[in-house]
Structure 1
Amino acid sequence: MKNAERSVDVQAFIDSQRFSPFQWAILVLCFLVVAADGFDTAAVGFIAPSLVLEWGVTRASLGPVMSAALVGLGIGAVAAGPCADRVGRKTVLVLSVFFFGAWSFAAAHASSIESLTVLRFFTGLGLGAAMPNAVTLMSEYAPARIRAVVVNAMFCGFSCGLAIGGVASAWLIPHFGWPGVLVAGGVGPIVLTVLLILLLPESVQFMVARQGADARIARILRRIAPLGRFDGCRFVSAESQASRKGQSAPGLVLSSRYRFGTLMLWLAYFMGLLIYYLLTNWLPTLFRDTGFTGQNAALMTSLFPLGGVLGNLCVGWVMDRFNGGRVIAFTYVLVAALVLLVGRGVGHQIWLGALIFVTGTVVTSAVTSMSALAASFYPTRGRATGVAWMLGVGRIGGVAGALVGAALMSMGWQFGAVFGLLAVPALIAALGLYVMTKRAMREEPTQDEAGATVAAQLGH
């Protein structure tokens, strides 16, 4: 009994340590998961022209194929969160990566629009389950002082996956045809699954919440701090104790304590993805309608995602130093101001190009940073569910963005009017996050919630 009573709070311990090589390895693995997610999410867009030529179908007939993965993404995200909060982040992450890799590989052998649509739906289920669990696991291994920038750095993998997909497709399709892209999108995740099984640890916070894994927790913490001495220690987590009341993860996310914040996160993420997907899908058409050539329209559109990596890191860095909710709310206000400016800058190509680049940077970083905010908002018991459900609801915003864009185009809306309208969802997102943060900061911590108050989770 000499050391049996010594307790170690695992999150406080992680917060007190430098970011170790072991945590860098976790970041790299999660980055690769998100990169594979980005590659496979965009795969159909890369192969669509080849499908039209080889199968003799119209572009319109590819609509179900394009949307099937998005539908699967939403369902996969909603289902995976509660599973991860019950059986573990690593387990669900490994299964989901293998799942979307296997179905992508199977899709390479599709012989009709119908079969490809079904296989892309199943691929989407795995893709939707992977992202929220990568976010949750990474956030639980990142020290609080740098959590937002670490999670946002992990999210840069999505942009890298998109870029790699474009480059790889340009080489694979001429040599192996369109199936080569889907084979690459299947083999990569399957190989990555082996690395995840061998190298990725389970979340120590999850293991504390489940209890009975002190020896495993000690081995993991020694990899973060090799000089640490944990013999006979009992591992605890203040936020896990605060949220351990027999409540299910979905029940916690929708409880009176978290319900308002949950709805505001959903609202803000929905609006953010509505803006992002409307612009990424319809910018080329909008530029063509204003008199740009096809080449210049493509060039202007390519400026939109270029600044995403830098924006993610910058906003994450600021979130780690100031109130995260207010930082993202201010970022959405910047989005509103920028889309209004873009709508007025059509006549000046250099000025317009600069505005498109900055707007893309700010929109991308606002949307990406929402995952870091959600991971900080929920306690361990409901974190995977909370993050996953926000991402799932956000996918509906992405679909809505594409549909709203199509409706505006059919009504003959012009460039400036479309961009002016986008200021509305940006301001709605900003208002939702501001109200959420203000309400959270007013709440007084109760004794049993000392380690997991919403006010502490949203800011510093």
Structure 2
Amino acid sequence: MDVQTFIDQSQIGSRQFRLIALCVAIMLIEGYDTTVVGYIAPALHLDWHLRPQDLAPLFGIGLVGLSIGSLALGPVADRIGRKTLLITSVSLFGVTSLMSALAPTLNVLLILRFLTGLGLGGAMPNAFTLAAEYSPSRLRASLVAPIGCGMAAGGALGGLLAGKVLGGEHWQLMFMVGGVIPLLLVPILLIWLPESVRYKIVRGAPEQDIRTTLRAMFPSARIDGIRFAYSEKPLSGLPFQYLFRRGLARETLLLWLMSFSTLLVVYFLGNWLPLLVQRAGAAPGAGATMMAYYLLGSTIGAIGLGIMMDRYKPQAVICLTMLAAAVSLLLLGGALHTTSAVFMVLFVIGMGTGGTMTGTNIMATAIYPTASRATGVGWALAFGRLGSIVGATVVASLLALGWSLSNLFTAAAATLFCAAICARCLRGEHPGPRDERRLHPPSEKASSADCAR
């Protein structure tokens, strides 16, 4: 039996929900650790007597680590497994975040944020990939979407902690929280996180190992005597080569441009909004509260878009939501001093940026085959991180040139409009793997080794 057919026909059980919950927990921590620098920026600005341009490298260096981590660790996961790479990544960013609380100088903190970024870059694509590979096709977007909202929710929790509890002053404690929690999660991941069964089949794992993995995830299913296969043809060579073969070059480039444009806006707002609001004369802590509403929109948007993507054309859902967010960005400058209006506008922007980025990741899991799926998702995120570096660092230069808030938000709206056009042009799930399954079905006369492959 084809293992995806088995997963599609099986009932969704508690083990699958547990897997989703573990991936959401990973992304909650990642969202917190990714955005924490933006929240503590005002405190660092005062404590270490830094200028805005001094903060730009701190925003950017972690994103450089994220980009390198996504590029390098995606192919590694396609070689050593999703579970091993996820646990290693969580351990790395937990340790380095904890060490960041003890950083005596800006230079030391820059090094630690780079290492934290490496771990964060390896976690996200593999969380999406692992969850998608255990989800039935008919509900994949709905089940995987909460993982994306986990990152936004983690960032929102960081904003509430910084704005309400700490007042943004005790920045060392913010790093300690981001280090201790992932390290406490590692033993739970070792016990409960499964390895991808499709990865095991493609890598030629023994049939008994495959049955054991499936029995652990689907305890009520009767699988004795069934030989499981996954009918994608095994790929030889390096996984990233297949991002441009079998008609995938166009989809790959569109995904990269979508990720670049969307994450540019996400990290522009995530890193600079609290400081820009403070410079505009808002009350202390107002920026963190606004950021929380923006990330709340990302959270709810990810779930809502996931449900809609399972019912309507995913590309159209993402495109229309991005267009709504682009219009809201144009209105943001004039709404900053109107409490109800700014919260509503930021909520829509969150849906059209963080929410649609989750949708982009879900589409990437459908486009690429198993043997290069983590690579495809990771590289799309890596090019998105390049956009996040631009969004996090270029604002300091633009402010030095005299750009107003209205100018900055207009440029962000134009960038998001570009992402919407890419979403409209994306074909979605590539027909190549389906054709391949039709042409290369599992053979009833095949040997056990052939079925495993």
Fold shared per TM-score above 0.5:
yes
SS in 2 for 1:235: coil
- Following superposition, the deviation at residue 284 of structure 1 comes to 5.0
SS in 1 for 2:220: coil
Equivalence for 1:381: 371
CA RMSD of aligned residues (A): 3.1
> Which of residues 293, 298, 309 in structure 1 aligns to 2:299?
309
Query: Relative to 1, partners in 2 of residues 1:44 and 1:357: Cα closer, same or farther, differing over 3 Å?
Result: closer
- Following superposition, the deviation at residue 25 of structure 1 comes to 0.9
Tell me if the contact between 2:41 and 2:275 (Cα under 8 Å) persists in the aligned partners. Answer: no
Tell me if the contact between 1:286 and 1:414 (Cα under 8 Å) persists in the aligned partners. Answer: no
Instruction: Tell me the alpha carbon deviations over residues 252-293 of structure 1, each in whole angstroms, 9 at most, x when there is no partner.
Output: 113252111111000011111122222334445665777766
1:77 is matched by which residue type in structure 2?
S
Percentage of pairs with the same residue: 36
Partner Cα distance (1:33, 1:346) in 2:
33
> Which of residues 415, 421, 433 in structure 1 aligns to 2:423?
433
Equivalence for 1:125: 118
SS in 2 for 1:212: coil
Equivalence for 2:243: 253
Indicate whether 1:81 and 2:58 are aligned.
Answer: no
- Following superposition, the deviation at residue 335 of structure 1 comes to 2.5
Pairs aligned (count):
440
Pick which of 317-326 and 328-337 moved more. Answer: 328-337
- Following superposition, the deviation at residue 136 of structure 1 comes to 0.7
- Following superposition, the deviation at residue 392 of structure 1 comes to 0.9
Pick which of 123-132 and 180-189 moved more. Answer: 180-189
Partner Cα distance (2:2, 2:419) in 1:
35
> Which of residues 323, 329, 342 in structure 1 aligns to 2:319?
329
Correspondence 1:209-224 to 2 at 5 A: 209-224=202-217
TM-score normalised according to structure 1 size: 0.85
Partner Cα distance (1:345, 1:206) in 2:
49
Indicate whether 1:200 and 2:188 are aligned.
Answer: no
Tell me if the contact between 1:330 and 1:430 (Cα under 8 Å) persists in the aligned partners. Answer: yes
Correspondence 1:90-101 to 2 at 5 A: 90-101=83-94
1:215 is matched by which residue type in structure 2?
Q
- Following superposition, the deviation at residue 379 of structure 1 comes to 1.0
- Following superposition, the deviation at residue 376 of structure 1 comes to 1.2
- Following superposition, the deviation at residue 359 of structure 1 comes to 2.5
SS in 1 for 2:146: helix
> Which of residues 143, 156, 163 in structure 2 aligns to 1:150?
143
Instruction: Tell me the alpha carbon deviations over residues 83-134 of structure 1, each in whole angstroms, 9 at most, x when there is no partner.
Output: 0011111111111111111222233333222222212211111111111111
Q: Which runs of 5+ in 1 are unaligned?
A: 1-7, 453-460
Pick which of 249-258 and 406-415 moved more. Answer: 406-415
Partner Cα distance (1:30, 1:284) in 2:
28
Query: Relative to 1, partners in 2 of residues 1:309 and 1:171: Cα closer, same or farther, differing over 3 Å?
Result: closer
Query: Relative to 1, partners in 2 of residues 1:90 and 1:342: Cα closer, same or farther, differing over 3 Å?
Result: same
Query: Relative to 1, partners in 2 of residues 1:112 and 1:348: Cα closer, same or farther, differing over 3 Å?
Result: closer
Equivalence for 2:227: 234
Equivalence for 1:275: 265
- Following superposition, the deviation at residue 225 of structure 1 comes to 3.2
- Following superposition, the deviation at residue 434 of structure 1 comes to 2.1
- Following superposition, the deviation at residue 298 of structure 1 comes to 6.0
Instruction: Tell me the alpha carbon deviations over residues 396-418 of structure 1, each in whole angstroms, 9 at most, x when there is no partner.
Output: 11121234434443444444444
> Which of residues 152, 159, 170 in structure 1 aligns to 2:152?
159
Q: Which runs of 5+ in 2 are unaligned?
A: 441-453
Equivalence for 1:392: 382
2:247 is matched by which residue type in structure 1?
R
Partner Cα distance (1:117, 1:52) in 2:
15
Query: Relative to 1, partners in 2 of residues 1:281 and 1:13: Cα closer, same or farther, differing over 3 Å?
Result: same
Partner Cα distance (2:334, 2:163) in 1:
36
Correspondence 1:285-296 to 2 at 5 A: none
Tell me if the contact between 1:35 and 1:157 (Cα under 8 Å) persists in the aligned partners. Answer: yes
Tell me if the contact between 2:325 and 2:349 (Cα under 8 Å) persists in the aligned partners. Answer: yes
TM-score normalised according to structure 2 size: 0.86
Query: Relative to 1, partners in 2 of residues 1:428 and 1:58: Cα closer, same or farther, differing over 3 Å?
Result: closer
